[in-house]
Amino acid sequence: MSGLAAVYEDHSDSLAQHVFEEMLERISYRATDGEGVLRRDTILIGHQHLYTTPEEREEDQPLIDDGVAVALDGRIDNRTDLLAMLSIEKEGLTDTEIFLQLYIKYGVECFSKIIGPFAICIWDKKENRVVLARDKTGIRHLFYARTDHGAVICSDMHPLTVHPDVRAAVNSDVALSYLLQRQIPGKTFYTDIQAVLPGEYVSISSDNISTHRYWELEHHEHRLHTTDSLEEMLYELIHEAIKCRLRGVNPSGVMLSGGVDSTTVAGIATTMCDDLRGYSVVFDEYPAGIGFENPSVATEETERIHKAAQTFGIDTVEITGNRICPFSNEEVHEFTFADNPCHTTTQAVNNVMFQRAAADSCRILLTGHDAEYLRGTYLRIADLLRRGSIRKLIKEIVSDDAAVTTNLLNLGCYPLIADCLDATYSPAFPDQTPIPKIIGDEYNLFRELRPPTTHRFSFETLKNTRFAELFDTDINRYAKYAARRVALKNGVELRYPFSDARIVEFIVAVPAGELLQGGGAVPFIQSST
């Protein structure tokens, strides 16, 4: 699996052919193992191959059967259950073949049955439509744009601008929201380009585009369980998520940072994989101005990496980050930020790490990213301040590596300004609406910063606000998207155990009181692993 591109319009036109070929060329960096193309009626679908699972070796996507064509960038983790559901006993089917048969049998209802990361493009001849879908937690990405005669679809954003109907104009609303550290769901930095959202499918016909949710987070609390049983349940879920992500070809690796998240992944993975390899970026010291007030943080992090590698018996390759200037590699810089602004300066360092992994024939790298969102997002600061939990607030801020002023002001006070205006202005001037123009713009700005929740001053507040923006964060939209593209450029696939939808659903269902223990952290996540 790797990437896909499609043109949904009359391809007898030379323009459609040119656009399609140019789009494929622009995502050719994903084609470590070749390219496949399907031409049918009003659809052109291309797939760039990177084989990472045993079943897909020599598979030539896109696949077609019974008037349905499929191009998949993804992996299915509940293969056994789905094969039983389809009454198929044949072994060795690829994930794409399973997905194709699921759609033929269940239509768009099939997406909710899938466990695993995916972005998929389906051409349904009988229904005369194209269906796009993205996994529940948004690990894979997919974008589309309307044209005068149909639509263009791609795993990357910028190739869509090849079509003359798709403007390469900056979306000013998204740019403003980015500067405010907020997001507009489904929108991108390109005015004419939309993103398929996590847990969503998009139906495209000749005259209409409609979006539909196939998955929502639901709050079913585990009230009948003790803390010990919750720990055991969580450990089993994390164990299963890591096991699923070790299904692959060649040696597997882990990005080992020295933190509890990547160390957890490494420790569990070594019980299942004899030749697990570690890849770490270490620093003599962190550059000034990146939010770490304690200069010893870099040294302590390196020591934790060494201890974890020694404890688990992992051969680890260390990349010295201080020797790699973030912008020294112009090619990586331009490639990484073709779709998004410079949200992180680590991609040049990551590029070196991915190159080393590829040289070791390691096509799969597990990462501990996203676990921080299961312990609480930046909204926890504002939530604790709103509730008046000063002791827990202080403990939370002090324990964070970021600067105290950054946490308290930017993440605590600023999001509450709109609340203060609501509480003071409206009672004082009940007959005067809206807010006077003299403060209206600033008021609306701070409303954008405010966590999207209707539950205030309660245990539920912390939980609701955490997951309101869980899958549409800057790290997911920009940093993780950029990192995956750089990895694929080197023939490496990143896998995220903590993004497993089963783990996310479990955390949402944990009683809110448990989430608040320990100053806003989730202590049983650490104790269970």
Residue holding tokens 């089993």?
236
More confident residue, 329 or 279: 279
Band (10; pLDDT cuts 50, 70, 90): confident
Q: What is the pLDDT of residues 457-476, one digit of tens each?
A: 333 444 444 444 555 565 56
pLDDT of residue 481: 87
Residue 7 lies in a domain: yes
pLDDT of residue 7: 97
If asked whether residues 292 and 343 sit together in one domain, one would say yes
Residue 493 lies in a domain: yes
Band (290; pLDDT cuts 50, 70, 90): low
The answer to whether the CB of 134 falls within 8 A of the CB of 141 is yes
Domain CATH number, residue 252: 3.40.50.620
Q: How wide is the angle at C-alpha 223 spanned by C-alphas 220 and 225, nearest 5°?
A: 120
Q: What is the CA radius of gyration of the chain?
A: 24
Comparing CA positions, the residue from 494, 525, 2 lying closest to residue 279 is 494
Q: Containing domain of residue 186, as a range? A: 3-213
If asked whether residues 412 and 501 sit together in one domain, one would say no
Task: Indicate the DSSP class of residue 395.
Answer: H
CA distances to 246, 306, 360, 361 from 250, in Å: 10, 25, 9, 6
Sequence ranges of the binding site for ATP: 281
Would you call 150 helix, strand, or coil by DSSP? strand
Q: What number of helices (H) and strands (E) belong to the chain?
A: 21, 17
Q: Report the sign of the C-alpha dihedral through residues 359, 362, 364, 370, in that order.
A: negative
Which pair of tokens denotes residue 179?
Answer: 């500067």
Q: What is the pLDDT of residues 65-108, one digit of tens each?
A: 999 999 999 999 999 999 999 999 888 899 999 999 999 999 99
Residue 45 lies in a domain: yes
pLDDT of residue 484: 92
If asked whether residues 408 and 357 sit together in one domain, one would say no
If asked whether residues 122 and 260 sit together in one domain, one would say no
Domain CATH number, residue 142: 3.60.20.10
Sequence ranges of the binding site: 95, 281
Domains held by the chain: number = 3
Rounded to an integer, what distance in angstroms lies between the CA atom of residue 75 and that of residue 96? Answer: 8
Would you call 19 helix, strand, or coil by DSSP? helix
Residue 74 lies in a domain: yes
Residue 219 lies in a domain: no
Q: How wide is the angle at C-alpha 501 spanned by C-alphas 500 and 505, nearest 5°?
A: 125
Band (443; pLDDT cuts 50, 70, 90): very low
Comparing CA positions, the residue from 497, 337, 472, 364 lying closest to residue 2 is 364
pLDDT of residue 179: 79
- DSSP for 91-146, please give it: S---HHHHHHHHHHHHGGGGGGG--S-EEEEEEETTTTEEEEEE-TT--S--EEEE
Name the average pLDDT for the chain: 80
If asked whether residues 207 and 317 sit together in one domain, one would say no
If asked whether residues 39 and 163 sit together in one domain, one would say yes
Least confident of 249-263, 291-305, 323-337: 323-337
Residue 425 lies in a domain: yes
If asked whether residues 84 and 204 sit together in one domain, one would say yes
pLDDT of residue 446: 43
If asked whether residues 209 and 301 sit together in one domain, one would say no
Provide the 10 A C-beta neighbour count for residue 465. Answer: 25
Sequence ranges of the binding site for L-glutamine: 95
If asked whether residues 459 and 482 sit together in one domain, one would say no
If asked whether residues 50 and 178 sit together in one domain, one would say yes
If asked whether residues 392 and 368 sit together in one domain, one would say no
Residue 492 lies in a domain: yes
Pick from 422, 438, 468: which residue ends a domain?
A: 468
Least confident of 47-51, 134-138, 198-202, 221-225: 221-225
Pick from 468, 500, 518: which residue ends a domain?
A: 468
Q: Per DSSP, what are the bridge partners of residue 69?
A: 64, 123
Residue 478 lies in a domain: yes
Rounded to an integer, what distance in angstroms lies between the CA atom of residue 223 and that of residue 509? Answer: 9
Q: What is the pLDDT of residues 327-373, one digit of tens each?
A: 666 667 676 777 877 666 778 888 999 999 999 999 999 999 887 65
Q: Report the sign of the C-alpha dihedral through residues 499, 501, 505, 510, in that order.
A: negative
Q: Where would I find the beta strands (DSSP E) of 129-217?
A: 129-134, 143-147, 150-154, 194-195, 200-204, 209-213
Q: Beta strands 43-48 and 35-40: pairing type?
A: antiparallel
If asked whether residues 171 and 247 sit together in one domain, one would say no
pLDDT of residue 383: 62
Pick from 213, 236, 257: which residue ends a domain?
A: 213
